[in-house]
Amino acid sequence: MATTTLATLLTNSSTRRVVDVDDDQNRLSRLPPITDSISTIHAFISKWDPHSSLSSRFLRATTHLHSYLLHLAASPARSSRNELMRTNSLLQSAMNCLDQELRNHLLSISDVHTLTDTISTVRSIVETMLSTGYGEECLTTYQSIRRAAVMSQLNQLGFDLYANRTRKLRKLKWEVLDNWIQSWIDALQKAVRSVFFHEKQLSDKIFGASAQSVHDSVFATIVSDIAGTFFSFPEIVCKHVKRVPERLFRLLDLYESLSDLIPDIESVFESEPVSSVRTKVMSSLTKLSVSIQTILYEFERSIQKDTTKTQTAPGGQVLALTRYVMNYLLSLSDYEAPLRVILADVPQVSDASSIQSFDSDDRYGSPVSVRISWLLLVLLRKLESKAEKYNDVALSYLFLVNNVYYMAKKVDISTLKESLGDEWVAVHMTKVRRYMEGHVRSGWAHVSAALPVKDEETVERVREFEMLFQKVLKEREGWVIVDPVLRNEVRLLVESMLVPAYRGWYQVYRGKMEVRFAPEDVRNQVFGLYEVSRSGSVSGSGSGSGSGKLLRRLGCYLPQQGDMSVRLQTEGAKALAGEFSLRYPITYDLQQHHELSLRHQIQNFD
């Protein structure tokens, strides 16, 4: 129907120009005798070969024959009827040849940069067929061949339009869909800037003799539904992808790739006939934005609701949750530009005052910075609640030292610092210092207090100190301070609390009684604590989790055998659709690895 309507638009003007008999007579009188045109057409048809060149003389003769046909149709004489039928039959034969010529030449056009002579010939054929009343046949041939050419070019870019269907996508495993997404992203720029752009240029060149509205309509009939299907892919992905964290960055890739090309898309599809394509693009961006916001919200809830069996880390070391969240946020910071747009209209968190205290500089007040700051605050609160699970207050402080230092250091050495600023790092390093002091005070003050202070209680206090010191050493065997600088600082603090006082007493009484520890022994024992073994596990009796060798861009902590791992699982039947929680199972299987397959490695992972 669209082709018929457009063909009517194209041929109406030529038909209207010849309906006046007197005017038609005047035109015919200025042309060569009709017999010459008829002879030319007969000669061409009888010798026609698809490989022979098309002469301009034949095209002029065909146009002349059409004018003669209209003259006969307007003549009241009965003798004109037989002549009319013979002329119409000959014109039909000529059009059949032209249609085949058009088909052959169109098939030889690879793109708009094809030889000028070829495009010029196609334009002449199109103008002849349109002016002689064969617009519908002309457009049917042109559209079918150019549509096939556009689809072929998209397939060559690695994207199958027929695969872009809801039913197919719904059945795909994530690793297959992930590959499809990458294929679409890889094809997107060339599809817009090459395939669709050059197709528009080609329509403008070939239909240059017609009005601009005709160019636009021809272009629309060729690419509208193809482009609409192509640009609907992100929307279909959003409809079926699970709302879990490892999917977020793929959706951001889609959003960023598509939004970067908006100026080009608006330029290529600027006309009214292709407005539906622009609408489809905006619809896909909107659906991507909503899905991304939903995953970010659910990611926040998963931190708050973390229900893993491992509520505390052995020896107070860095939790897998902390590593996971920080590397996830590090990846998130790579998408500053698209996230600024996505989060611009999202209501800010209710507890904004807690975030503002991190950094007063207005540079760090963007929606992205605020959201990252908030997620870090959510993580910090979760760590504080987990610290309360320890039975030993000193170990609670040590747990906070390791985890908060990991957070601050990660920010300080990564692109997260650009979002959060120096003050955020300084504030949290100060927290780390307070936690260190709390650990030393709560973990060693009672040992220092056991040192003898009076002569008459020397023996009893020495034995009490030795027993207490040995007990504390045994308890501390599994404790760890991950950072070597902090580790040394804590050791020095403990040494300054115990060794000077012990040395003073030892120098006075070592000859008067049996003493198990010399001052150097006390110091050496202290400096043997908080160590991390080379394998990454805690030294002594405590066991810990290795950092893992494979942590990819989507923030998933993929373990080696025996490591604690991060796993994302949907909750039970009572959970809301799309809701998830973070899990840390000891075991890990290949199916889980494929389910969490990720595209890019996070940079600067410890």
Higher-confidence residue of 321 and 549: namely 321
pLDDT average, residue stretch 546-569? 29
pLDDT average, residue stretch 374-382? 96
pLDDT average, residue stretch 28-52? 69
Comparing 222-226, 345-349, 425-429, which segment has the lowest mean pLDDT? 345-349
The span from the CA of 280 to the CA of 3, in Å, is 23
pLDDT above 70 as % of the chain = 75
Comparing 149-153, 283-287, 321-325, 574-578, which segment has the lowest mean pLDDT? 574-578
Q: What pLDDT is recorded for position 112?
A: 67
Higher-confidence residue of 457 and 522: namely 522
Sign of CA dihedral 93, 98, 99, 101: positive
Q: What pLDDT is recorded for position 522?
A: 94
Q: What pLDDT is recorded for position 600?
A: 33
Q: Is 356 in contact with 377 (CB distance < 8 Å)?
A: no
Whether residue 372 has pLDDT greater than 60: yes
* 3-state per-residue secondary structure call for 240-301: HCCCCHHHHHHHHHHHHHHHHCHHHHHHHCCCHHHHHHHHHHHHHHHHHHHHHHHHHHHHHH
Q: What pLDDT is recorded for position 265?
A: 97
Q: What pLDDT is recorded for position 363?
A: 52
Instruction: Name 166's bridge partners.
Output: none
The span from the CA of 510 to the CA of 522, in Å, is 14
465-474 per-position pLDDT tens digit: 899 999 999 9
Q: What pLDDT is recorded for position 308?
A: 65
Whether residue 108 has pLDDT greater than 80: yes
Whether residue 568 has pLDDT greater than 80: no
Comparing 250-259, 355-364, 385-394, 453-462, which segment has the lowest mean pLDDT? 355-364
pLDDT average, residue stretch 220-232? 95
18-30 per-position pLDDT tens digit: 334 445 445 545 5
| Cα–Cα separations (whole angstroms), residue 519 to 262, 436, 453, 500 | 72, 24, 16, 8
Whether residue 257 has pLDDT greater than 60: yes
Q: What pLDDT is recorded for position 535?
A: 47
Higher-confidence residue of 237 and 165: namely 237
Comparing 289-303, 307-321, 495-509, 511-525, which segment has the lowest mean pLDDT? 307-321
Q: Is 222 in contact with 154 (CB distance < 8 Å)?
A: no
306-364 per-position pLDDT tens digit: 766 556 788 999 999 999 999 999 999 999 999 999 998 777 655 545 554 444 444 55
- 462 half-sphere exposure, CB direction, 13 A CA radius: 21
Domains of the chain (ranges plus CATH)? 1-14+35-240 (1.20.1280.170)
- Which helix (H) or strand (E) segment holds residue 455: the answer is none
pLDDT above 90 as % of the chain = 48
How long, in residues, is the chain? Answer: 606
Q: What pLDDT is recorded for position 188?
A: 96
